[in-house]
Amino acid sequence: MLSCYAETIKAVEITLPIYYKPIVKFVCDLAQMEIGTASDATQIKNYYVLTLLMAGIIDDIEDSINEILRAAELPISVIIIKVGDGANADNDSLKLFDNSKQIFDRCERVFIEMIDFSQYKSKPGANKFEESKG
């Protein structure tokens, strides 16, 4: 996945501002529509997994956190992977990690996983997928 990200990032032009709320809202709305058509929980046929790669600035950090909290009541898991070095004070993905952990820990279920990729990229086996393709 990392090599795919690295190649894609070379081919696209990233512009500011960076908003995560719209994609989180889209996935929450999909799950909400499915719940709305089900007469009970056993009729829900889909479970959604939203993976967000975050490299730095998040221009709608509070709105994004609030929308992610909405996922706690829906058939959704959210995986946030912080990529890049992000060691500076302006890195909003670090702020999201630090400021929201306590909020998400108070939810009734574990629906979110926040991963700092830098902790894993140099460990043995981190590139197993890439090795298995060759």
> Is the pLDDT higher at 51 or at 6?
51
What domain range includes position 60?
Answer: 18-125
Is 59 among the domain residues?
yes
Is 61 among the domain residues?
yes
The number of domains in the chain is 1
Q: Outline where DSSP puts E strands in the chain.
A: 48-54, 76-82, 112-116
Angstrom distances, CA of residue 44 to CA of 9, 68, 104, 130: 35, 20, 24, 35
- Mean pLDDT (whole number) for 83-93: 60
pLDDT at 34 over 80: yes
Is 10 among the domain residues?
no
Is 85 among the domain residues?
yes
Is 134 among the domain residues?
no
Is 2 among the domain residues?
no
The pLDDT of residue 27 is 95
- Asked whether 18 and 55 are in contact (CB, 8 A), the reply is no
Q: Model-level pTM? A: 0.72
Q: How far is Cα 34 from Cα 40, in angstroms, rounded to an integer?
A: 11
